[in-house]
Amino acid sequence: MTRSSTRDNNQSGPAQVPSQGPPKVPPQLPPQLPLGDAAGELIERIGRQADRAAFAELFRLFAPRLKSYLMRQGCDFAVAEDLMQETMVMVWRRAASFDATRASAATWLFTIARNKRIDSLRRQRRPAIDLDDPALVADPAPSAEEPVLANERGRRLAEALATLPAEQAALIRLAYFDDRAQSEIAAETRLPLGTVKSRLRLALVKLRRALEEFE
């Protein structure tokens, strides 16, 4: 191989982003970058002294790698750029929390980037709030007469129940006040299910008539 051929092979240009975006790969942190302790020292300088020169150097070293990592996770170029910027802002703010005994600088940086990517996906999946949705409209305030009417209805119902035979009134209370299923009532009262159903039907007819008389 000639010298010119070797030189041409070594001088490869920057990677071109495919027009349709890179293929998605399972989320995982990239391997440890061969930057030694330099990145950790830069982060510590940022945390201790808010050292802008250290931050600029850290940005130069890691910004392209973070963007490339985010694009491999499925981000397009613009989103990857935004998330990389958010990651570096977070690094500036939280540099003092970096602990080299718990994680390498590269792992710490790429973990922040991964979390930013996850947050971005959650925002995309969360539906926008429709302020005109009727479900978001507050219920109208009850009128001053509503409590009085509710008390009157309760009094009439109690009086109507008192006109029923005791066993029918008991079934009505179990079914409609305690919200018990008819099968549960049958098991509790040791009555056949058919008997429970017929007594409830009869009790409802009598109760309806009694309430009509009170009106």
Q: What number is the average pLDDT over the span 175-201?
A: 86
Q: What number is the average pLDDT over the span 82-103?
A: 92
Q: Which amino acid is at 135?
A: A
Indicate the angle between helix axes 105-125 and 52-72, nearest 10 degrees. 50
Determine the Cα angle at 183 with ends 180 and 188, to 5°.
75
pLDDT at 179 (0 to 100): 81
Q: Residues 108, 30: contact at Cβ < 8 Å? A: no
Residue with tokens 């010298």: 3
Q: What number is the average pLDDT over the span 192-209?
A: 86
pLDDT at 145 over 60: yes
* Banded pLDDT at 165 (limits 50, 70, 90): confident
Count of all residues that appear for the chain in the document = 215
Q: Which of 164, 65, 166, 145 is nearest to 110 (CA)?
A: 65
Q: Which of 98, 93, 87 is nearest to 59 (CA)?
A: 87
pLDDT at 88 over 80: yes
Ramachandran sector of residue 190 (left: φ over 0; alpha: ψ -120 to 50; beta: rest): left
Percentages of the chain per state (helix, strand, coil), in multiples of 5: 65, 0, 35
Identify the H or E element spanning 209. helix 193-214
- pLDDT above 70 coverage of the chain, percent: 69
How many CB atoms within 10 Å of residue 108?
Answer: 20
pLDDT at 112 over 90: yes
Q: Which amino acid is at 85?
A: Q
Q: Which residues of 132-143 are buried (b: 16+ CB within 10 A; e: fewer)?
A: eeeeeeeeeeee
d(CA 21, CA 90): 26
Q: Residues 134, 142: contact at Cβ < 8 Å? A: no
Q: What number is the average pLDDT over the span 118-142?
A: 66
Q: How far apart are the first and last CA of the chain?
A: 108
Across the chain, mean pLDDT equals: 76
The domains located in the chain, with CATH, are 22-125 (1.10.1740.10), 150-214 (1.10.10.10)
d(CA 209, CA 48): 83
Q: Residues 172, 164: contact at Cβ < 8 Å? A: yes
